[in-house]
Amino acid sequence: MQYALQLAAGASGQTDINPVVGCVVVKSGRIVGLGAHLRRGEGHAEVHALQMAGDEAEGATVYVTLEPCSHFGRTPPCSNRLVAAKVARVVVACQDPNPQVAGRGLAQLRAAGIEVKAGVLEQQAQALNEAFNKYIVTGYPFVTLKTAMTLDGKIASYTGDSRYVSGAAAREKVHAMRHRHSAIMIGVDTAIADDPELTTRLPVPGLNPARIIADSRLRLPLDARLLKDKAAPVIVLTTAQASEHARRQLEQQGARVLVCGAGPHVDLDAAMRQLGQLEISSILLEGGGKLSGAMIELGLVDKLVLFIAPKLIGGENAPGAFVFQGFERMADAVPLERMQVELLGGDICVTGYLPKRKEQ
């Protein structure tokens, strides 16, 4: 199962709104088939593994990281393929949270006389598909907030200079994170100040996620690099109060403009719903401080990845990582759960999860 999880992890970022899944077929103590779901609309992990196993699949044990699908989507049900292959036993890491599946695949296998064991390395499998698990149940994207800050909590100097807060190892990790997300999201102030491309730059080619800009008054410059490079779609979130002329100009540059609320500020909850409807299942939120603070305040952030550089920049007016009104009492502060800490070069990387909103 650990090997199946490794196969699944290798496809992270490539499967669109589908989960990543790995599969290993074992017979008489030998691995006879391997597979991973590589791309949405193509064969699932079980299909690839069974094809590799061929006739040796009969009587074999199949290890798969997610419950085999039992419904017709873009591809036929994997549960049918396992039954037809006459496998003897199926070991599953976790049940599929998709309401169309949710235990039906396992029930079909048992009804066909196949021995089923579930829950092997379940936590690791759940973590691997944390974005899919949220999106398939709620329709909201899974939001990971990434920020780099100094020891005194600043994301730039008082002049606005932010190159670079963190070191090379942290920046490479961020690009790997971009590869694994459906979209990157920033506020318009960050887009104007930094003029970023928001592309994935890795030693090997990576996928470029969609670029999302929260821009209530449509101030994004028409000559912004992310509009000119066409490396990935651009989505601008705005309000009904924004200029219709500015909207048309952005659309002429190839951007998609979504009206999220009456104004004056972007209704971020409505924006998340609309982005989910566009099949954006995961978002890497890269700031700035006002957007990050607003998303936290609304409970729209699921995961935090914070890079802390061993620097002090000072500056009363230097921008902070999280800008919002805040809470009256320390007891009301947002707690970080399941926290992990690692050293990346000279930087500290803190990863943790924020509490779920009650309706989720």
Residue 145, exposed/middle/buried by CB under 10 A (0-12, 13-18, 19+)?
A: buried
Q: First vs last Cα of the chain: how many Å apart?
A: 30
Q: What order do you get walking across the sheet with 61-64 strand by strand?
A: 30-36, 22-27, 61-64, 89-92, 115-118
**Quick one: three-class SS letters along 131-152?**
HHHHHHHHCCCEEEEEEEEECC
d(CA 63, CA 259) in angstroms, rounded, equals: 45
* Vertex 304: Cα angle to 238 and 38 (nearest 5): 85
Q: How many other CB atoms sit within 10 Å of the CB of residue 324?
A: 15
The beta strand positions in the chain, using DSSP E, are 22-27, 30-36, 61-64, 89-92, 115-118, 142-150, 183-187, 210-214, 234-238, 256-259, 282-285, 303-309, 337-344, 347-353
Please tell me which residue in 46, 172, 328, 342 is annotated as part of the active site: 46
Sign of CA dihedral 320, 170, 282, 120: negative
Using the CB atoms, write b or e for 41-52: b if 16+ within 10 Å: eebbbbbbbbeb
Residue pair 78/105 in contact (Cβ under 8 Å)? The answer is yes
Is residue 115 annotated as a catalytic residue, yes or no?
no
User: What positions carry a catalytic annotation?
Assistant: 46
